[in-house]
C-alpha cells in the first residue's frame, strides 16, 4: 500500500515568487504568483512541468523545495538577495 498521494489530472500548480528588498525601498515588486506579460498567473499542469520551467530559466533547488537564481545575480536598487521561487498547488475552496 503506497502512502504517496497521486496527483489528479485536474490539479494545477503555480510558482510563488518572494522578493527580498530593504524596508522602505520604493517601487518594489509585490510577492505573489509568477505572472506573464499580461498580468495573468502562469499555471502548470504538473509539478514536474513547473520544475522544468524553473530549471530552464536558470534556477536551482536549494533547500525545502525553494529555487534560487543560479550563478551571478545582480541585485536591483534596494534588493539584498535574489528572489525565492516555490511551487504551490492551486487550492480550490470546498463548497
Q: Which pLDDT belongs to residue 72?
A: 82
Q: Judge whether 77 lies within some domain.
A: yes
Q: Judge whether 4 lies within some domain.
A: no
Closest CA to 65 of 77, 48, 44: 48
Q: Judge whether 19 lies within some domain.
A: yes
* 7 band by pLDDT with thresholds 50, 70 and 90: very low
* 59 band by pLDDT with thresholds 50, 70 and 90: confident
Tell me the average pLDDT of the chain: 84
Q: Judge whether 8 lies within some domain.
A: no
Q: Judge whether 1 lies within some domain.
A: no
Q: Judge whether 84 lies within some domain.
A: yes
Q: Judge whether 35 lies within some domain.
A: yes
**Which residue range is the domain that position 84 belongs to?**
13-89
- The total of structural domains in the chain comes to 1
- Whether the per-residue pLDDT at 4 is higher than 80: the answer is no
Q: How far apart, in Å, are the Cα atoms of 89 and each of 11, 14, 20, 78, 86?
A: 7, 6, 23, 31, 10
- Whether the per-residue pLDDT at 74 is higher than 90: the answer is no
Amino acid at each position: 500500500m503506497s502512502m504517496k498521494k497521486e496527483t489528479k489530472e485536474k490539479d494545477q500548480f503555480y510558482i510563488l515568487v518572494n522578493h527580498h528588498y530593504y524596508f522602505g525601498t520604493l517601487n518594489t515588486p509585490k510577492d505573489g504568483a509568477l505572472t506573464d506579460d499580461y498580468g495573468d498567473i502562469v499555471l502548470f499542469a504538473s509539478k514536474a512541468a513547473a520544475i522544468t520551467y524553473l530549471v530552464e530559466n536558470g534556477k536551482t533547488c536549494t533547500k525545502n523545495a525553494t529555487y534560487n537564481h543560479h550563478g551571478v545575480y545582480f541585485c536591483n536598487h534596494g534588493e539584498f538577495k535574489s528572489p525565492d521561487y516555490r511551487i504551490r498547488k492551486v487550492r480550490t475552496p470546498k463548497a
